[in-house]
Copies of this chain bind each other. A is one copy, B any other.
Amino acid sequence: MGKRITVALDAMGGDYAPLETVKGAVDAVKELDVNIKLVGPAEQLHAELAKYQYDKERIEIVHASEVIGTDESPTMAIRRKKDSSLVVALNLVKNGEADAIVSAGSTGALLTGALLIVGRLPGVERPALGTCLPTKTGFTFLLDSGANVDCKPKYLEQFAKMGSVYVENVFGIKNPKVALVNIGAEKEKGNALTKETYELLEQTDTIHFTGNIEPRNIPYGEADVIVCDGFVGNTILKLSEGLAKTIFEILKGEIMQGFYKVGALILKTPFKNMKKFMDSDEIGGAPFIGLKSLVVKAHGSSNAKAFKNAVRQCVLFAEADIIGKIKDKI
């Protein structure tokens, strides 16, 4: 194991900040080999941290007086709010004072800020947002899940390479299966982007390309990594969330109506397991891959457990030297 890494945590990002970010930081230093720089209004964070027992040397508060709202224009916010928790945290990474950053704030501001302040790895055309989608057999790593809405085939080829490195090293899946999201199984199916991308992926011998995956088969977990443009990827991600929620609501309503008491009892465990199946807290965030350092976008509704797991991703990422491996593969 290498030296202990430092993660900058945007203490003001997310619906439950700073309560859950601070608790997540405390849990992280207790469980993981990591130091945390908590970025936000110093006074408020000190008061919050005072509630906990932890090794004082491992969490440092870095003051930032402003906060970027989720409704602000990303580019404007990054340029103007120099003393926001997000910009200060990104600068810690840029200046080498932190190795990675976790934020549950505005996705747009985080992606824009990461590109402007942290910067792309040489050779990477477009960094991609990767998300673990739950499947029947485990999960599939989907990229791009929303950072690049208009893509060229070359970008998708790089997503495939970066996704393979990530899944192999963070989740230990050897020679991961990579599939292209397409509306038909055959090579000649799809739109202009997927047809050209298929040709390119077929010729890429550093990945294990298994062909197209149709959207209906995504929930069955046939591939470890699936690639598509960010518009389609975000649609897959958000529709899955919305549909799962709706089905639960309908089914629960129906069952409870018919058999209230016994229904509640019988459904307790399966619903809990299904919730876990859909639970993003277990992974803790979506890595934005292809930058000079790791940037993790945590879900807006993240709790302490999600923040801790997002920090865990940063530790695994650093231990496996994923940045170095992506550089080699691109």
Query: A residues bordering B, Cβ < 8 Å?
Result: 135-136, 146, 149-150, 181, 183, 190-192, 194, 214-220, 229-232, 234-236, 238-247, 249-251, 254-255, 258-259, 262-263, 266-267, 269-270, 273-274, 277
Name 5 interchain pairs, CB-CB below 8 A, sorted by A. A136-B250, A149-B191, A218-B243, A235-B235, A262-B266
Residue of B nearest to A257 (CB): B270
| A250 vs chain B, min Cβ distance (A) | 6
Cα distance A232–B249 in the bound complex, in angstroms: 25
Q: Known interface pairs A183-B146, A249-B136. Does A242 touch B254 (Cβ–Cβ under 8 Å)?
A: no
Q: For A274, list chain B residues within 8 Å (CB).
A: 247, 250-251, 254
B247 & A244 in contact (Cβ 8 Å cutoff): yes
B267 & A255 in contact (Cβ 8 Å cutoff): yes
Q: Known interface pairs A150-B192, A190-B149, A231-B191. Does A251 touch B238 (Cβ–Cβ under 8 Å)?
A: no
Q: For A214, list chain B residues within 8 Å (CB).
A: 238
Q: For A258, list chain B residues within 8 Å (CB).
A: 266, 269-270
Q: For A190, list chain B residues within 8 Å (CB).
A: 149, 231
B183 & A231 in contact (Cβ 8 Å cutoff): yes
Residue of B nearest to A268 (CB): B258
| A234 vs chain B, min Cβ distance (A) | 4
Residue of B nearest to A235 (CB): B215
A191 & B150 in contact (Cβ 8 Å cutoff): yes
A242 & B266 in contact (Cβ 8 Å cutoff): no
B231 & A232 in contact (Cβ 8 Å cutoff): yes
Q: For A136, list chain B residues within 8 Å (CB).
A: 246, 249-250
Q: Known interface pairs A220-B242, A232-B235, A243-B244. Does A251 touch B254 (Cβ–Cβ under 8 Å)?
A: no
A270 & B251 in contact (Cβ 8 Å cutoff): yes
Residue of B nearest to A151 (CB): B191
B239 & A215 in contact (Cβ 8 Å cutoff): yes
